[in-house]
Amino acid sequence: MSPPPATKTPPDPSRIKVIVATDCGSTTTKAILIELVDGHYRQTQRGEAPTTVEAPFADVTLGVTNAVTELQELSGRRLVADDGTIIRRASDSDPDGCDVYISTSSAGGGLQMMVAGVVRQMTAESAKRAALGAGAIVMDTISANDRRRPHEQIQRIRELRPDMVLLAGGTDGGDRKKVVELAELIAPAKPRPRFGGEYRLPVIFAGNAEVRPEVSRVFDRGFDLSLVDNVRPTLDVEHLGPARDRIHDVFLEHVMAHAPGYDKLISWADAPIMPTPGAVGDILQTIAAKRGINALGVDIGGATTDVFSVFDGAFNRTVSANLGMSYSISNVCAEAGMERILRWVHLPMDERELRNRVKNKMIRPTTIPQTLEALVFEQAVSREALRLSFEQHKAFATSLKGVQQQRTVGDAFSQQAAGGTLVDAMRLDLLVASGGVLSHAPRMEQTALMLIDSFEPEGFTELAKDSIFMMPHLGVLASVHPDAAMEVFEKDCLVYLGTCVAPRGQARAGKPCFRWELRGARDARGELACGEMRLLPLGADERCEMTVTPERGFDMGAGPGRPVTRTVRGGTVGLVLDARGRAIDVPADAAARRATIARWLEALRVYA
């Protein structure tokens, strides 16, 4: 991706000793202070303040100043000048200021796009994957065969207010007419951008390279047209990188630049402002590469949930619009259904009252659960939001490999059924959680069980959480000082919860499921029956050799019934032995279901 307009050159990494980093989220601006302490980079302070991008403040930098002021109060180091700007150190001995200020941002309502392609299952789907991979919310996908008549398509386009349009269609040297037809439908519909006024709607054309002149002619007035490489140059090749990169550029240059106070924030920062999810993706890829593992990260927010995965080095990211824990909580309940949410609840609850509570959270999104009952319900909702987001991720992950992907025509037509080919729960090594409901859960056991219930990891899977949602800050720091970013990541960012041990398979509750044996830091052995869970203590710095022998019909990764030995890592929770089978099933009867859930919660001391 080509970076947005550069700000200033950051200082030589060897001279950087004090770093201030902020992340301007849609509701909260989080600041961290990183200092060189005894030769090691450590995150020393954190502060936060409400984001001030909305009226009545309408200036993102006010929230930044407030958050950094909190750092200043906690550290005793003067960081904010009288005019609200961030102070830089004059010399190595200067006790005030910082050497580098960097920031990420997701304020401004996200990126909303409309995409179009000739054939729904082919170029339109590739365009959609490119947009999703870039972090957009796809408002609608228009294609020549989407079963709508042209005037209905035009009407729909007119109703939408996208931030930008991605138009694909035709392989290089292939269909010309249908591609130009699509352009001719979109241009006269004149979709009005959200920002109105003088904002010229950006259109990115990533279709048949041979029709660029015709497409340019169609969009010659009132649009800001970019031409990039075809997302589908041939039928069996998907090439999403250039379109995704251009989407990022346009997002930074046009969309974010319209967020109030952004010009000031850009001038304050020593490196380009990165979109928050982009920075998280960067750091996750770094971890996966450094440790040579498959990793999956999730960030559940108030409005959306981002899922990131790295399998065999291939990075994918999806953004599930309208699956979140505050603004979108009502949508999670509508999509999942109250019945699915209540299957995670061990307390009797009145459904009508819950529905009203959900709506009250939707209209007052910043409130937090005060009672245990309210917490249990929110964590149940989060399981379904995470599950739905993960489903969406698996459905798209196959095609978001990066710059170029080989796919057969047959694969493309069977995309729905073939989704998830890259994301393999058995081969997942590390699952990282971030976002309020996961990061701020009062007990780590709650975070661990929410992750296990939603993602259903198989085999041996390490569980971790981003301690204070520091991954965005470290992602952008990696672009300035990679060593400092990795050092803070290892020492202060990730909190290891432990390892989940869960065989794949299903059988009737009470039948034998697997035998286990620990050697090393702990020596123990035992067995679990189907439907049981057990927690074994293993501290954060402890590792053990563990052999798991599954019963016939259960698989730990080496095939049904075959034993597997691995080094397992402990954590603040420990080793979670999960013999509930995959997919996790709960009794249909409400009383039996509550009793079963209560047993699992007790085994893991979730609400102890």
Partner 1 sequence: MAKAFTPGLTVSARATYRARRLLPVDGEVTVSVGDRVAADDVVAQTFMDGDVFPMKVANMLGASPRDLPGLMLRRVGEQVAVGDTVARSKGMFGMFRTEVRSTAAGTVESVSDATGMVIVRGPRQPIAVRAFIGGTVVEVLPREGAVVENVVALVQGIFGIGGETSGAVAMACASPDEELDADDVTPAMRGAVVVGGARMTAAAIARAREVGAHAVISGGIDDQDLRDVLGHDIGVAVTGSERIGITLVITEGFGEIAMAARTFALLASHAGRTASVNGATQIRAGVMRPEIVIPLDPASSAAGAPAMSAGGATAGVLEIGTPVRVIRDPHFGVLGTVAALPEQPAVLGSGSKARVLEVAVAGGLRITVPRANVELIEGGDR
Which tokens hold the place of 262? 């952004």
**Which of 89, 99, 101 has the alpha carbon at shortest distance from 11?**
99
Question: Under the criterion CB under 8 A, does residue 140 sit at the interface with partner 1?
Answer: no
Question: Under the criterion CB under 8 A, does residue 336 sit at the interface with partner 1?
Answer: no
Question: Under the criterion CB under 8 A, does residue 365 sit at the interface with partner 1?
Answer: yes
The one segment of 8-16, 189-197, 481-489, 552-560 that binds partner 1 by CB under 8 A: 189-197
Beta bridge partners of 519: 545
Rounded-to-5 percentages of helix, strand, coil across the chain: 35, 25, 40
Cα separation, 236 vs 174, whole angstroms? 13
Question: Under the criterion CB under 8 A, does residue 258 sit at the interface with partner 1?
Answer: no
Q: Cis peptide before 269, with omega less than 30 degrees from 0?
A: no
Question: Under the criterion CB under 8 A, does residue 340 sit at the interface with partner 1?
Answer: no
For partner 1, the binding residue among 37, 289, 372, 403 (CB under 8 A) is: 372
Site residues for partner 1, window 93-122 (CB under 8 A)?
Answer: 107-110
Question: Under the criterion CB under 8 A, does residue 154 sit at the interface with partner 1?
Answer: yes
Cα separation, 102 vs 475, whole angstroms? 10
Q: Which residues of 169-178 are buried (b: 16+ CB within 10 A; e: fewer)?
A: bbbbebbbeb
For residue 134, how many other CB atoms are within 10 A of its CB? 27
Closest distance of CB 373 from partner 1, Å: 8
Closest distance of CB 131 from partner 1, Å: 19
The one segment of 115-123, 147-155, 278-286, 522-530 that binds partner 1 by CB under 8 A: 147-155
Question: Under the criterion CB under 8 A, does residue 84 sit at the interface with partner 1?
Answer: no
Please name the residues in contact with 371: beta carbons below 8 A apart, sequence gap of 6 or more: none
- Considering the complex, state which of residue 103 and residue 106 has its C-beta at the smaller distance from partner 1: 106
Question: Under the criterion CB under 8 A, does residue 82 sit at the interface with partner 1?
Answer: no
Closest distance of CB 375 from partner 1, Å: 4
Question: Under the criterion CB under 8 A, does residue 145 sit at the interface with partner 1?
Answer: no
Token pair 């869970």: residue: 533
Question: Under the criterion CB under 8 A, does residue 69 sit at the interface with partner 1?
Answer: yes
Question: Under the criterion CB under 8 A, does residue 81 sit at the interface with partner 1?
Answer: no
The one segment of 173-181, 241-249, 292-300, 469-477 that binds partner 1 by CB under 8 A: 173-181
Cα separation, 313 vs 384, whole angstroms? 28
Closest distance of CB 161 from partner 1, Å: 10
Question: Under the criterion CB under 8 A, does residue 76 sit at the interface with partner 1?
Answer: no
Question: Under the criterion CB under 8 A, does residue 308 sit at the interface with partner 1?
Answer: no
The answer to whether 211 and 180 have CB atoms below 8 angstroms apart is yes
Which tokens hold the place of 214? 């015709």
- Considering the complex, state which of residue 51 and residue 405 has its C-beta at the smaller distance from partner 1: 51
- Considering the complex, state which of residue 42 and residue 192 has its C-beta at the smaller distance from partner 1: 192
Cα separation, 551 vs 116, whole angstroms? 50
Question: Under the criterion CB under 8 A, does residue 49 sit at the interface with partner 1?
Answer: yes
Quote the DSSP letter at residue 134: T
Quote the DSSP letter at residue 490: I
Q: What angle do CA 203, 206, 209 make, to 5 degrees?
A: 120
Question: Under the criterion CB under 8 A, does residue 50 sit at the interface with partner 1?
Answer: yes
Q: What angle do CA 584, 588, 592 make, to 5 degrees?
A: 95
Helix or strand or coil: residue 98? strand
Please measure the distance between the N-terminal and C-terminal CA atoms of the chain and give it in whole angstroms: 48
**Which of 318, 583, 279, 280 has the alpha carbon at shortest distance from 432?**
280
- Considering the complex, state which of residue 47 and residue 531 has its C-beta at the smaller distance from partner 1: 47
- Considering the complex, state which of residue 11 and residue 84 has its C-beta at the smaller distance from partner 1: 84
For partner 1, the binding residue among 6, 9, 39, 56 (CB under 8 A) is: 56
Closest distance of CB 37 from partner 1, Å: 25
Question: Under the criterion CB under 8 A, does residue 348 sit at the interface with partner 1?
Answer: no
Question: Under the criterion CB under 8 A, does residue 67 sit at the interface with partner 1?
Answer: yes
Cα separation, 505 vs 554, whole angstroms? 5
- Considering the complex, state which of residue 167 and residue 485 has its C-beta at the smaller distance from partner 1: 167
Q: Considering Cα of 534, then 537, then 542, then 548, what sign does the dihedral take?
A: negative
Question: Under the criterion CB under 8 A, does residue 530 sit at the interface with partner 1?
Answer: no
Question: Under the criterion CB under 8 A, does residue 320 sit at the interface with partner 1?
Answer: no
Closest distance of CB 243 from partner 1, Å: 23
Question: Under the criterion CB under 8 A, does residue 468 sit at the interface with partner 1?
Answer: no
Helix or strand or coil: residue 58? coil
Cα separation, 267 vs 483, whole angstroms? 25
Question: Under the criterion CB under 8 A, does residue 359 sit at the interface with partner 1?
Answer: yes
Question: Under the criterion CB under 8 A, does residue 270 sit at the interface with partner 1?
Answer: no
Question: Under the criterion CB under 8 A, does residue 176 sit at the interface with partner 1?
Answer: yes
Question: Under the criterion CB under 8 A, does residue 605 sit at the interface with partner 1?
Answer: no
Quote the DSSP letter at residue 405: E
Question: Under the criterion CB under 8 A, does residue 135 sit at the interface with partner 1?
Answer: no
For partner 1, the binding residue among 37, 81, 289, 368 (CB under 8 A) is: 368
**Which of 113, 175, 120, 166 has the alpha carbon at shortest distance from 143?**
120
Cα separation, 321 vs 335, whole angstroms? 12
Which tokens hold the place of 397? 């992950």
Number of residues counted as binding partner 1 (CB under 8 A)? 70
For residue 582, what are the CA distances in angstroms to 105, 209, 384, 416, 507? 37, 46, 16, 21, 10
Site residues for partner 1, window 219-248 (CB under 8 A)?
Answer: none
The one segment of 181-189, 466-474, 519-527, 591-599 that binds partner 1 by CB under 8 A: 181-189
- Considering the complex, state which of residue 285 and residue 572 has its C-beta at the smaller distance from partner 1: 572
Cα separation, 479 vs 44, whole angstroms? 20
Binding-site ranges for partner 1 (CB under 8 A): 26, 47, 49-50, 53-57, 66-67, 69-70, 73, 107-110, 150-151, 154-155, 176-178, 180-181, 184-185, 188-190, 192, 196, 211, 214, 303, 322, 327-328, 330-331, 334-335, 352-353, 355-372, 374-375, 440, 442-443, 607
